[in-house]
Amino acid sequence: MSDHELQTGDPMPMASLPATDGRTYDLGQAAAATVIYWTCNHCPYALAWHDRLHEVARDYADRGVRVLAVNSNNSDTHPADSFVAMAERVEREGGWPSPYLHDESQDVARSFGAAKTPDVFVFDAGLKLRYRGAPDADYDDPGQNAAWLRAALDAVLEGREPDPATTEPVGCGIKWK
């Protein structure tokens, strides 16, 4: 587990991670806002919110928002979350609107204090944390449409503080080594 948890206003921990598309992504690249969320292949909560998070990536791309998906699960105990399985999933689904990054060492998850899948972090243009939590209030209601995440992004893009700035992430625990 992580013994450190990012707080609102904290700077983004700097790191780069490999993605299923063969590229390596710097988390802190310049953007109007950056969404980094933990997800995985096997967790029903991550799967239930999957389409809503992709819609956010598509809907906010032209406003300069960068969205990155990270999988930190231990693939020794959960083979469905191996790098190969991640790449196969993206291909099977016809590509994702966001890079799907692999945090094999789990160092990035620990540096953020990520705990669940999904667990969403929103950073402003200065790479300060502005929102952390769940995408919306109900994993089982697609009509929620990632409302908390969208509200946080709208606030950040307009220079306001998100309200709420934190919610409780809901999902499967990250599978630690």
Q: Of 8, 32, 42, 97, which one interacts with another protein (CB under 8 A)?
A: 42
Q: Return the DSSP state at 81.
A: G
CA dist 126 and 30 (Å) reads 8
Q: Of 10, 31, 32, 47, which one interacts with another protein (CB under 8 A)?
A: 47
Find all residues with CB under 8 Å of 109, minimum gap 6, and list them. 2, 38, 70, 72, 103, 174
CB of 132 to another protein, least distance (A): 18
Q: Of 38, 100, 139, 148, which one interacts with another protein (CB under 8 A)?
A: 139
128 binds another protein (CB under 8 A): no
User: Shortest CA distance to 25 belongs to which of 98, 79, 125?
Assistant: 98
43 binds another protein (CB under 8 A): yes
- Residues in the site for another protein, rule: CB under 8 A? 42-45, 47-48, 50, 139-140, 142, 170-173
